[in-house]
Structure 1
Amino acid sequence: MQKLIAELMRLYLPADAPPADVLTLHVLGQRNVPISLTGGDGQARAMMIPFRKTKGAESDAHWLRLCEVANTLQESLGLPAPAVSISGGDAYYLWLSLATPVPADRAQTFLERLRDAWFPEIELDTDAVRAPIALPPCLHPRTGKWAAFIHPGMGASFADEAGLDMAPPPLGQAAFLEGLESIGEEQFERVFQALGAEQQNKPMAVGVAAPVAAPASSFLPHAPAPGLLLKDATLEDIVRHLHAMNIEPTFRHLLPSDRYD
């Protein structure tokens, strides 16, 4: 449990986040604690992008859209791989961590510029980086399912029901986070300015615009690392990944039990 709390604090939580004992109750499902990724000093430590199921769309459309966006963030913008989570309800989330906190208004503008360029169909609250959210892992108060970080290769299996029946093991949750990196200060500023320049140069569009395919050379100082992009993984891939981190997977905790019926 201590390792999981440490990873959440390393990646997402501001300095004045709830103390470790309160966070422990939250991740154990004993107390629901909405947490803002922006501290009381107005500095944002992380950002979350929601991908919710849309009525009338294919059941896995929101998952496929997440994959497209996650790949773009890494391949075209050169950003570190984001964490992926299920909400316990009907959504997937991408989590972007900042190595150096930035003013909330600037983080909000960054998020909106990303949206305008790459996923214009997704609605973002005007205070998305300030609003308290349910940081996984945690119990969804309405559905009774668990929100959790997941291996990206397992995402498609949650398209119809984005939640777990059982609490995910803390060590496994920590394993999904420990290899992730935060967006560096210079990296953030480079992408922030480049997205702003693209936004000023593109013509005004009527209705919903298609994602802007900015040239990779505008953003990338070097080619993306191999194996960086999200992809469908086999069960063997996932087991091998966890074994490499000295974790023995218990899949009854990773997938609802009725998926084996």
Structure 2
Amino acid sequence: MSRLQIEFRRLFLATDSACADGAVPTLDLVDADGRVRALVIELARPAEWQPLADVWMGVQTELGLPAPAIAVNGTDGMQLWFSVAAPLDAARAQSFLNGLRHRYLAAVKPERLGLMTGADSALAACATALSGSAGASHEANGRWPAFVAPDLAPIFAETPWLDLPPGDEGQARVLAGLESIKPALFEAALAQLQAWADAPTVNAAAAAAAAGSVTSEHDVQADGHPEAQRFLLSVMNDEAAPLALRIEAAKALLPFGRSGGRTI
């Protein structure tokens, strides 16, 4: 096995079966009991980095999880690859991904999101290429999927591919510094995500309407729209609200700070 295949196996494969010398290692994303270790969020059609950056940062700062791997899918999307140390049944893995979507990606249209585990056939082809087992599978279109370093991720937002095959050693180095989520940490994070999802939150449509009512420079007064200001402030301070809505509420409140009203 190459160093890339070793790192990919360490993080994402559900089984650790040895292979004979010279044999091509099997890509076992699912074990005999249907459990998985690879959990993937994809944002595509079009690709975009900033929403995924919010997830990448949020899971570390709010949930205390190790950073996921960042990948471009070679066609139209960017991905976050989460590794769990102990295989999970597909339902629990999907619950985790749904919790991340609710917390950090509520403002993204569902049709642009892929919440995939190793049990999803849609993930198999991309996993094969990213693991260094694909040979020339992307040679025809000249666009290659790859893992990318966090500081380089923004430059792939509009072109989520490499124009040349990524080197195995470079790909291995990207993965080498990553860690799997340990069971206790995963359970704590899943419980927190479920608590956020179950907590009463502001209505997204109402928040958007309130934001729209106060963002016009012509309408904003220092003492105007007090109810809208209070509502937006409550959204911004609501830790159970999706992060995207809290950010939009903060943006909508900026004119009040400039005009002498409540500042944030």
How far does the alpha carbon of each residue in 1:176-224 deviate from its partner, in whole angstroms, 9 at most, with x for none? Answer: 0011000010000001112112222224746699997449xxxxxxxxx
Task: Check 1:4–1:91 CA distance in 2 against 1; reply closer, same or farther (3 A cut).
Answer: same
Q: Does 1:41 align with 2:39?
A: no
Residue matched to 1:162: 160
Counterpart mapping for 1:34-183 below 5 A: 37-54=29-46, 62-120=48-106, 121=108, 123=110, 124=113, 128-132=117-121, 133=123, 134-135=126-127, 136=130, 137=132, 138=134, 139-140=137-138, 143-183=141-181
| 1:158 Cα deviation after fit | 1.8
How far does the alpha carbon of each residue in 1:49-69 deviate from its partner, in whole angstroms, 9 at most, with x for none? Answer: 102143xxxxxx711122121
Task: Pick the structure with more helix per residue.
Answer: 2
Q: CA RMSD in A?
A: 3.2
Out of 185, 188, 213, the residue aligned to residue 186 of structure 2 is 188
Structure 2 alignment gaps of length 5 or more: 209-234, 242-264
Aligned length: 199
Supply the distance in 2 between the matched residues of 1:45 and 1:79 (Cα, whole angstroms). 15
Counterpart mapping for 1:8-23 below 5 A: 8-15=8-15, 21-22=23-24
Supply the distance in 2 between the matched residues of 1:187 and 1:36 (Cα, whole angstroms). 24
Q: Does the 8 A contact of 1:107 with 1:129 survive in 2?
A: no
Q: Does the 8 A contact of 1:99 with 1:183 survive in 2?
A: yes
Q: Does the 8 A contact of 1:89 with 1:140 survive in 2?
A: no
Counterpart residue type for residue 42 of structure 1:
G
Counterpart residue type for residue 153 of structure 2:
G
SS in 2 for 1:173: helix
Which structure has more relative contact order (CA 8 Å, sep 6+)? It is: 1
Residue matched to 2:6: 6
SS in 2 for 1:161: coil
| 1:109 Cα deviation after fit | 0.9
Task: Check 1:160–1:197 CA distance in 2 against 1; reply closer, same or farther (3 A cut).
Answer: closer
Supply the distance in 2 between the matched residues of 1:148 and 1:63 (Cα, whole angstroms). 15
| 1:23 Cα deviation after fit | 5.1
Question: Could you tell me the percent identity over the aligned residues?
Answer: 35
Supply the distance in 1 between the matched residues of 2:116 and 2:51 (Cα, whole angstroms). 23
Counterpart residue type for residue 37 of structure 1:
L
Task: Name the TM-score, length of structure 1 as normaliser.
Answer: 0.66
Task: Name the TM-score, length of structure 2 as normaliser.
Answer: 0.65
Supply the distance in 1 between the matched residues of 2:96 and 2:118 (Cα, whole angstroms). 10
